[in-house]
Structure 1
Amino acid sequence: MFLYVNDLSSWKNWWIPLNGTQETIKIDSAHVKYNGNTLQKLASFENDSIQFTITDANFNGNSTIIIKSIDNRQSEISWKLNGEVSFKTKFLAFLKGGMQNVLQSDIQQSFLNIENELQKKFLDYSITLNGFETKNAVTYIAIADSTSTTSFDEKRKQNLKKLGEFITKRDLTINGDPFVIFKSRNKESYKYLSCIPVTAVLDSISIDSTMTKGRFDSYLALKTTLKGSFTNRANAWEEAKKSIEKSNYKENKDGLYIEVYKKESKQSPATNVTEIYIPVRKPIIVNEPKKDSLQPTETIQDSI
């Protein structure tokens, strides 16, 4: 929820004062301007709060939205206002028994709109276990990074943008979709390489000091496809790992754990497509004790 509300471009979808003003809204990363009124974001604190100033016909002052995560599927949101109101708003407050009663319905409806938008844009998803297959060899340039899980998408997008600009400047040819190689991952943080595949021979690629380059050979992996918001990636990883445990394959913890970003849309996260590759080892061939020279060999088959 924090990422959605912190993105001012989303406010036109849920904030009541913007209803019916779609043609007159101007939004950038820190301002929303509508019908001569202005909302300015002053600061944001990840998964905690967002601070604003609001100047419009009825209110002029400071505002803080507080977001508290209950679990990975639920958040609690509250809105504090501190400032001056117009005479009209004061009069309405007098008639309705207090300022809270004047603003409460708009704020409650805005919160309900957030819930509906998140349900539509972020929570709907599907996970497909595609099966065990060979992940083809790739040559790539990359930026090494580490970050909290909540900042991961923002950071790897910044890295991929920088790599894309570098590739364009050096006239290199991109050879597939951007991806991430995880060096380590847990619930709190990731260490990873943000990568873009290229067709160039590795030795011919000249990079700057902020980048690295490499190549991995083809390897066996379980491929899983997530369609929907990246907020559901933990569920996709969990289902993939469980499917390996139920099969006769074994997870290869020395191998490469990769996410490939096939399709990515900030406006419509439900249309995102992400491929996950978890390295595995082939089933072990078990030989039955030989009763005679014609005794067959039994091979354990994949059960996924």
Structure 2
Amino acid sequence: MRIVKYIFLLILLAAIAVSVYIGTQNGNFDIQRSKVINVPQPILYNYVDDYKNWEDWGPWAEEDKSIQYQYAGKTKGMGASYSWKGKDGEGKMNTVKTIENDSLFQKIYFEDSEPNDIIWGFQKTGNGTKVTWRMKGKMDFMMKFFAFFSGGAENMMAPMFEKGLKNIDNILVGELKNYSVTVNGLTRKSGTYYIKQTLTCKIPSLNKNMGILFRKITKFTKDNNITVNGAPFAIYNKFDTVNGIVTFSACLPIVEEIFTSEGSDIEGGRFYSHLALKTTLKGDYSHSKEAWDKAYAEIAKHKWLENKSGKYIEVYKVGVNQTRKSSQWVTEIYIPIVEKPKPIEVPLAVKDTTAVQ
């Protein structure tokens, strides 16, 4: 029994010694990994910026299938946040600063520990983007403990960073390659009432501003109990490639005509049924230029005339609100076409049989 007590005492002393050693180690760490991914800079930036996408590429989900995610009202941009619970504990993350298409600055909290910093950098390189994922901060005792038995913080965390970047590469490149453009032909675009918000901006910031406007008018419909009657769409009023300017309206179809108060930046509108060339893009919206180009090539082929005073429309039948897989997004493009005038029917002359011979 005395030997057992001595062995137990030695084990206890060893555990105390290891704990003291771990506790006195420098807890500062700074780890980063980079990868070149063959997608445009804005696409990669926007994908990482949205916390809802982290479920798909996060390497920790492969280690812990029980992880549960919770999202706040805002999941992208400055002020976005989300939290999680898993077998190894819980945590949360929030975005504290963004530089569009360039960098993201985030804070990550594990349990009740002090936050650590996460910094993302996006640098255009050739036909792709070099993305850098960096995390720095100070480890608490438990992180020091795990790092000690993993061979250090670098060995503990760096493989997760590498796996995460590889997952992003596989998802984005695979999704972007999977798309199709179909020129459906002439059709009658049905008319509708709608609410809209209009903006003029630089063409590179179109997608960002489109999202902002759709969120505003969606909130407007909910706050005012307005029934939305179909998929969201955009009307392009001006697309000036020479000066890099676009004027567009983000729109939601509604059942009845509405009138907003004077000075409101949200207005009611209506367009009537009209002839249009329909083209369908299935896949990521980054291929929209190809879809528009094919549509215009079809117009030139048949020598149709555009109705310059008509509505140039994109309908977002399936988008990010339905699925995060961009290969499944469906965008319908409608270019207004001048209708050929119907020939006037002249009645055939009828011989008057009552005339005097």
Same fold (TM over 0.5): yes
Structure 1 stretch displaced more, 62-71 or 268-277? 62-71
CA separation of 1:107 and 1:268: change in aligned 2, threshold 3 A: same
Q: Which residue of 2 aligns with 1:198?
A: 254
Structure label with greater radius of gyration: 2
Structure 2 unaligned blocks of 5 or more: 1-43, 76-80, 342-357
Structure 1 unaligned blocks of 5 or more: 285-304
Please show how residues 173-252 of structure 1 align to structure 2 within 5 Å. 174-185=228-239, 190-200=246-256, 202=257, 205-208=258-261, 209-252=264-307
Q: Which residue of 2 aligns with 1:302?
A: none
Select which of 27, 32, 43 maps to 2:83. 32
Secondary structure in structure 2 of the residue aligned to 1:36: strand
Q: Which residue of 2 aligns with 1:295?
A: none
Using structure 2 for the length normalisation, give the TM-score. 0.66
The letter for the 2-side match of 1:257 is: Y
Q: Displacement, 1:41?
A: 2.6
Structure 1 stretch displaced more, 255-264 or 208-217? 208-217
Pairing 1:114–2:114 present: no
The letter for the 2-side match of 1:154 is: G
Q: Displacement, 1:65?
A: 0.9
The letter for the 2-side match of 1:206 is: F
Q: Which residue of 1 aligns with 2:132?
A: 78
Q: Percent identity?
A: 27
2: CA distance between counterparts of 1:150 and 1:196?
17
Using structure 1 for the length normalisation, give the TM-score. 0.76
CA separation of 1:160 and 1:261: change in aligned 2, threshold 3 A: farther
Pairing 1:253–2:279 present: no
Pairing 1:21–2:75 present: no
1: CA distance between counterparts of 2:224 and 2:327?
29
Quick check: 1:139–1:216 contact (8 Å CA) kept in 2?
yes
Please show how residues 1-304 of structure 1 align to structure 2 within 5 Å. 1-28=44-71, 29=75, 30-34=81-85, 35-56=89-110, 61-70=116-125, 74-85=128-139, 86=144, 88-89=146-147, 92-93=150-151, 100=154, 103-147=157-201, 148-165=205-222, 168-169=225-226, 174-185=228-239, 190-200=246-256, 202=257, 205-208=258-261, 209-264=264-319, 265-281=322-338
Q: Displacement, 1:246?
A: 2.9
Quick check: 1:47–1:69 contact (8 Å CA) kept in 2?
no
Quick check: 2:195–2:217 contact (8 Å CA) kept in 1?
no
Quick check: 2:217–2:266 contact (8 Å CA) kept in 1?
no
CA separation of 1:159 and 1:223: change in aligned 2, threshold 3 A: farther
